[in-house]
Amino acid sequence: MDLRDELEASLGELYSIEQELGGGGMSRVFLAKETSLGRRVVVKVLPKELTGGVNVDRFRREIVLAAQLQHPHIVTLLSTGQVAGVPYYTMPYEEGRSLRAHLREQGPLPIAEVVGLLGDVAKALSFAHERGVIHRDIKPDNILVCGGAAVVSDFGIAKAVSDAKDQPPPHETGETLTQIGMSVGTPTYMAPEQAAADPDVDHRADIYSFGITAYEMLTGRPPFCDSSPRKLLAAHLTEPPEPILARRPDTPPALAAMVMACLEKEPADRPQSARALLHVLEIVQAGEQRAARAQVQRGSLARQLALGLVALVAVSILARASIIAMGLPEWVLPATLVAAVLVIVALVGRAQGIARAITPMTPARRRE
C-alpha cells in the first residue's frame, strides 16, 4: 500500500484526497476536501527519514501550540495525526503561489513589492514570537503570495520535529531540509546558531532567516548558495555576506542596513524583534510613497504649467487684439498679463492642494 492509500485509510471519512501537489524534503503535500464542510485543505505528511525518533505525542503537543496562532498573515494549522507511524498535519488551502515560484518567474522584485511582502511576514513573525512560537524554517517556500499579500505557512513544524526527537537522527536528509546533530532547518536559510545545533535557539533565528529571504527577494539569489549543505552551514557560521548594495544599488539605504543587520552572526547583534523590523519597513515604505507621490505631483505640475503658458499666450493675443480693435491704452496688455499670471498661480496651487488632500492618509502621511 502506497502513502496515498495509507493516508486515505487514516483520514477515513473526514477528508477525501483529490491529488498530490508535490512537496520537498520537508513533506509530501496532498490536496483534499473536508467532507463535512466541503472546503479544500492541504495535508502534509512528514518524510520517514526526517521523523525517525520523533515522539508522535510530543509532536502533537507542539502542533497544538502552533495551532493557536490566528492571524491574517499566518496559515492556520487545523489538525494533526499519524499515518503508518508518520505524523501529518492539515491546513487551509490558500489560493496563490509560493514566494519561491514568484521569485523563479520574476527574479529580483521591485522595491515597493519587497517592502510590502516583508512587512506582512514581519507582522506574522511578531505575532507568533510574542506568543512563544518560533518558525525555524522561514524561506520563500514557506511564504505564500495571495492577492499581493504574504502569508506564512508551516509555523512551528521544524521546531515541533526538533523538540519531539527522542534521539539524534543518524544522517542528513539532503539539500532541502537537513539535520546535523539536533538542528532542523533549510541550510540556505539556517541561522548560525541552528547550524551549530545550539540548544538555546530562539526567535532571533527567524530574524536571520528573514534577512536571507529579504536578500534573495532584492537580488534574486541568497547570499550563500551553490554549495553542499555542510559548506552552506559553514558559510553561515564564518563568512560575511556580500553587501546588498553591491548587488542591488537602488536598494534604499535603510532597507539595505536592516537586511544586513539581520544577517549578523551573533543573535545579539541582530534586530531583537520582528516588531523592530516592521518599524524600519514602515519608514522605508513612507519614503517610497513620498518619492512616488512627488513624482506624480511633478508630472502634474509640469502639465498644469504647460496649460498655464498656453492660456497666457492666448490671453496676450486677445488683449492685443482688443487694444487694436477698441483703441484701449497700451497699459491694458501688461495689466491683463499680470492678472492672468496671478489666476494661473492660484489655480495651480489649489490643484496641488487638492491632490495632496485626496492622497490616502497613511501612517507615513501622518508623520509628514
Q: Is 137 a catalytic residue?
A: yes
Which stretches of 134-222 are DSSP H helices? 157-163, 192-195, 204-219
Compute the distance between CA of residue 292 and CA of residue 267 in angstroms, rounded to an integer: 35
| CB-based contact 220:283 (threshold 8 Å) | no
Q: What is the DSSP string of 265-310?
A: SSGGGS-S-HHHHHHHHHHHHHHHHHHHHHHHHHHHHHHHHHHHHH
**In 3D, which of 207, 220, 221 has the Cα closest to residue 278?**
207
Residue 160 corresponds to which cell in the numbers above?
515541533
Beta-ladder partners of 34: 15
Q: Which are the contacts of 192, defined by CB distance < 8 A and separation ≥ 6?
A: 208, 236, 237, 265
Closest CA to 65 of 170, 183, 163: 163
Compute CA distances 238 → 11, 17, 94, 144, 231, whole Å: 46, 45, 38, 31, 10
Which member of 120, 137, 141, 206 is catalytic?
137
Phi, psi of 23 (to 5 degrees): 145, -170
The secondary structure of 122-152 as a DSSP string is HHHHHHHHTTT---S--SGGGEEEETTEEEE
The HSE-up count of residue 20 (CA atoms within 13 Å, CB side) is 12
Cα angle value 334/336/340 (rounded, 5°): 115
Distance separating alpha carbons of residues 20 and 176, to the nearest angstrom: 19
The residues annotated with a catalytic role in the active site are 137
